[in-house]
Amino acid sequence: MKIPPIARASRNDASRQRRGMTLLELVAGTVCAGLLLAGMGSALFVALRASDPDSIPSNLLRACTSVDELAAELRSATAFGERSSTALAFTVADRDDDAQPETIRYEWSGGAGDPLTRAYNGGSPVSVAADVHAFELDYEIESKDGKDYVCGVNITLQSGPNSASLVFASAQVLNGPEVTTP
């Protein structure tokens, strides 16, 4: 069967039109690829910066975690055995089913770069925040019936040398324990 010349020409024109992409499609594809690469590059940069142990976000996260843990334990304190600007010892209700209250002690030596440590029931101190450059405890004391009660503790912690990683928190002591002197 013989194909008329007009039909042959239109079939060839249709196949030629679909062989490549237009300039507009190429530009749009290049722009989309560039945006994707820029987004992935910035996400990688942020991830690498956050994983650097000396970066401000890492130090700030460690400081916030440590202060939050200390504040949570202070809320359930039943008595204080030691109170200073850089150390604190207190008891909480029984946590390990031995019918004895637990003793928790936080301490910072005062030297820039030294860790904030936590000791549980007189055990070995464990570092809860490394590279501490500032740590201060300020106590809110209330007097009732001739006795002093701790009703709150203000906590300041700076992890790392940059002051941008300075964290402030206030922990209200829910049980209102009596202050005991060592």
- pLDDT 10s digits, 19-72: 778 888 889 999 999 899 888 888 887 776 666 555 556 667 777 888 888 888
Domain ranges of the chain: 5-51, 56-172
Mean predicted lDDT score pLDDT of the chain: 80
pTM for this predicted structure: 0.64
Closest to 134 measured CA to CA, from 50, 66, 53: 66
Whether the pLDDT of residue 178 is over 70: the answer is no
Sorting pLDDT into bands at 50, 70 and 90, what band is 16?
Answer: low
pLDDT of residue 182: 42
pLDDT at 1: 58
**How many CA within 13 A on the CB side of residue 178?**
7
Hey, is 137 helix, strand or coil?
Answer: strand
Least confident range of 3-7, 32-36, 119-123, 153-157: 3-7
pLDDT at 134 over 70: yes
Among 57-71, 93-107, 135-149, which is the least confidently predicted range?
Answer: 57-71
pLDDT classification of 151: cutoffs 50, 70, 90: confident
Q: Would you state the pLDDT for residue 23? A: 87
Sheet holding 114-120, edge to edge: 77-83, 87-92, 102-108, 114-120, 126-144, 147-159, 166-172
